[in-house]
């Protein structure tokens, strides 16, 4: 880089001292500014309160197709590569800015499940290569759709022949994987022919009751595949499986169970369901069945640091505090999970859904 005269640095130094804004910028930020001067060796850009940026000769050559049409007064985007370099400028890159913007665009396209067109330029043994927003895109053989034209591929030679025939063609795809760090952009022709989840959920609304089949069980809840639309799944959170505390969703349902559930939320193409919403709240009339001082039997359901949860009937649970035993270990000596004991109701607070118990001696 050529040395910059002191008087040439004054405007930028003034901006930095006047606004003190350099710490607002970080390396990697995208900025926009107005071209002040364009030369063979350097182009300066007014970044407003952030100071003055500079694009140097090597970068100007890399971006020559863009630079040749630019003139002072034009507004341009760039990426920060160095803050306050040895010449006193914010060093900028035009090519990196375009690339970062392209990655952001393809990420948005993936999030929105948009269908885009890609022209296929070459192939390798795994699939076809093309270009999307100036980025290399890969279409694996496994993600080919209509491009196979219904043919069955039995060997390596036939795969190569099909791929060769597709080179030069433009295909519609959906983006299925984006990773700018590894420069990976995977597209799928097959996915472009499928109806997106966001389109499918438009046929449903909050409050609707659906029929489905349990397709998966996890610690946090249950996945349900819609009977009328098997391509769509909803999630019943563990807290929506019933009115009692559920430690393991397998206590309530198992894979392939047929269920009815109520849609409680639809957001970003995801459907939340509830079994609980279809049941009468057992706590509404709990005072008709249980009274303070009443002696009842219950089965110990689970232990917690605060005490034990006791099943009293199908949906109603009571709690016995650890203080009644003097500690967790003593509690576990006197109670066993799954075993039935006799208790006395010490306190009943229906609006807090709480029944406090004491072990009958």
Q: How far apart are CA 207 and CA 326, in angstroms?
A: 47
CATH number attached to the domain at 198-278: 2.40.50.140
Q: Has residue 284 got a pLDDT over 50?
A: yes
Q: Has residue 61 got a pLDDT over 90?
A: no
Q: Do domains 109-192 and 198-278 have the same CATH topology?
A: yes
The answer for residues whose C-beta is within 8 angstroms of residue 189's C-beta and 6 or more apart is 139, 143, 144, 145, 146, 147, 171, 172, 173
Strands 307-311 and 317-321, sheet pairing: antiparallel
Whether residue 191 contacts residue 143, with contact meaning beta carbons closer than 8 Å, is answered with yes
Class of domain 6-93: mainly beta
Report the candidate in 167, 84, 75 with the shortest Cα–Cα distance to residue 130: 167
Q: Is the CATH number of domain 109-192 2.40.50.140?
A: yes
As given in the structure block, the two tokens for residue 34 are 């107005």
pLDDT digits (tens, 9 = 90+) for 110-138: 888 888 999 899 988 888 898 888 788 99
Residues β-bridged to residue 117 = 172
pLDDT digits (tens, 9 = 90+) for 334-356: 999 999 999 999 999 888 889 99
E-strand spans in 180-279?
A: 184-188, 209-218, 221-226, 233-237, 258-267, 270-274
As given in the structure block, the two tokens for residue 81 are 């590569």
Mean per-residue pLDDT over the chain, rounded: 83
In the block, tokens 């519609």 appear at 172
Residues β-bridged to residue 170 = 119
Q: How far apart are CA 222 and CA 107, in angstroms?
A: 29
In the block, tokens 């047929």 appear at 258
Whether residue 78 contacts residue 93, with contact meaning beta carbons closer than 8 Å, is answered with yes
In the block, tokens 């206590």 appear at 251
As given in the structure block, the two tokens for residue 299 are 């089965």
CATH classification number, 286-359, choose in 3.20.10.10, 3.90.420.10, 2.40.128.50, 2.40.50.140: 2.40.50.140
pLDDT digits (tens, 9 = 90+) for 177-225: 888 778 788 998 888 877 767 778 888 999 999 999 999 898 899 999 9
Domain ranges within the chain, ordered by starting residue: 6-93, 109-192, 198-278, 286-359
As given in the structure block, the two tokens for residue 84 are 């306050």
Q: Has residue 172 got a pLDDT over 80?
A: yes
Whether residue 143 contacts residue 128, with contact meaning beta carbons closer than 8 Å, is answered with no
* DSSP secondary structure letter of residue 144: -
């Amino acid at each position: 880089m050529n040395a910059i005269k002191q008087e040439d640095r004054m405007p930028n130094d003034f901006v930095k001292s006047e606004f003190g804004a350099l710490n607002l910028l970080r390396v990697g930020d995208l900025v926009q500014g107005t071209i002040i001067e364009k030369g063979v060796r350097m182009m300066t850009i007014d970044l407003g309160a952030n100071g003055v940026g500079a694009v140097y000769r090597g970068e100007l050559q890399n971006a020559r197709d863009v630079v040749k049409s630019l003139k002072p007064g034009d507004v341009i985007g760039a990426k920060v590569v160095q803050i306050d370099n040895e010449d006193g400028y914010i060093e900028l890159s035009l090519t990196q800015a375009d690339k970062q913007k392209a990655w952001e665009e393809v990420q948005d396209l993936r999030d929105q499940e948009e269908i885009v067109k890609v022209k296929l330029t070459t192939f390798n043994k795994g699939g076809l290569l093309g270009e999307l927003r100036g980025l290399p895109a890969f279409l694996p053989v496994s993600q080919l759709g209509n491009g196979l034209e219904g043919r069955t591929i039995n060997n390596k030679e036939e795969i190569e022949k099909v791929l060769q025939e597709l080179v030069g063609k433009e295909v519609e795809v959906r983006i299925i994987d984006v990773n700018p760090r590894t420069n990976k952009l995977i597209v799928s022709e097959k996915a472009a022919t499928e109806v997106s989840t966001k389109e499918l959920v438009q046929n449903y609304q909050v409050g609707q009751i659906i029929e489905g089949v349990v397709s998966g069980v996890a610690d946090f809840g249950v996945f349900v595949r819609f009977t009328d639309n098997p391509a769509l799944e909803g999630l019943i959170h563990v807290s929506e499986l019933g009115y009692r505390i559920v430690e393991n969703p397998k206590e309530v349902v198992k894979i392939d169970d047929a269920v009815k559930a109520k849609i409680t939320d639809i957001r970003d193409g995801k459907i939340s369901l509830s079994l609980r919403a279809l049941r009468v709240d057992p706590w509404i009339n709990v005072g008709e069945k249980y009274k303070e001082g009443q002696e009842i039997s219950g089965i110990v359901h689970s232990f917690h640091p605060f005490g034990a949860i006791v099943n009293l009937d199908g949906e109603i649970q009571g709690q016995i505090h650890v203080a009644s035993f003097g500690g967790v270990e003593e509690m576990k000596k006197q109670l066993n999970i799954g075993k039935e004991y006799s208790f006395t109701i010490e306190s009943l607070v229906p609006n807090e859904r709480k029944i406090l118990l004491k072990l009958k001696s």
